[in-house]
Amino acid sequence: MRRSLLLLLGTLFLVAGCGGGNPRVTWTVAGQESTVGPAQYCDIKLRDCTNDEQAKASLAVPAGAAVEISVPSEVSEAPWSVVFAYVGPDGQQTTGRSPVFTPKAQESYTLTLPEPGDTLQTAQVQLLGVAPVANPDSGELEFPTRATWLLVAQR
């Protein structure tokens, strides 16, 4: 009985110790910094997923400001990219995507919008999962996303 209790306590300790272990991404804009956990995080097979609607960075991002993004090795050891949405000086909303970074290639990225008057709305680090697949309707490659970290720009 005592051995079973010790085994159970040991298991609970390991689970509790790993519970907060999801990787965290750091967003930096003009000296402001915010480090957050994932808004969505799945296992490598994309079967066991968790969502956290409160997990988002919120920083003031002036028009034309660069956003420094730092990811931990748990992210950079796999393919990852940054997806973003912004509004141009003409009020038109546009989306964009960074290159897909290959495993172990880099742990940071500077997001700079195309024009100085562009204003960032959101940015998202995407940890990519299994190999890309072709969309049967469009023929374009789709990259299954295993985890996401979100920045919501404030004015």
Tens of pLDDT, residues 36-59: 999 999 998 888 999 999 999 999
HSE-up of residue 133 (Cα within 13 Å, Cβ side): 7
Q: How far apart are CA 21 and CA 15, in angstroms?
A: 10
Structural domain count, the chain: 1
Q: What pTM was computed for the model?
A: 0.81
The predicted pLDDT at position 18 comes to: 38
Instruction: Judge whether residue 143 has pLDDT over 90.
Output: no
Instruction: Judge whether residue 3 has pLDDT over 50.
Output: no
Q: How far apart are CA 42 and CA 129, in angstroms?
A: 9
Q: Average the pLDDT over 123-134 and give the result.
A: 86
In the chain, DSSP finds a helix count (H) and a strand count (E) of 2, 13
Instruction: Judge whether residue 94 has pLDDT over 50.
Output: yes
The predicted pLDDT at position 7 comes to: 32
* pLDDT band at 13; cut points 50, 70, 90: very low
**Is 125 a domain residue?**
yes
Domain that holds residue 84: 23-154
**Is 4 a domain residue?**
no
| Higher pLDDT among residues 14 and 151, named by residue | 151
Q: Average the pLDDT over 55-66 and give the result.
A: 96
DSSP 8-state class, residue 131:
P
CB atoms closer than 10 angstroms to residue 96: 14
* pLDDT band at 74; cut points 50, 70, 90: very high
**Is 13 a domain residue?**
no
Please list the alpha-helical segments (H only) found in 70-148.
73-76
**Is 146 a domain residue?**
yes
**Is 103 a domain residue?**
yes
Range with the largest mean pLDDT of 40-49, 64-73, 127-136: 64-73
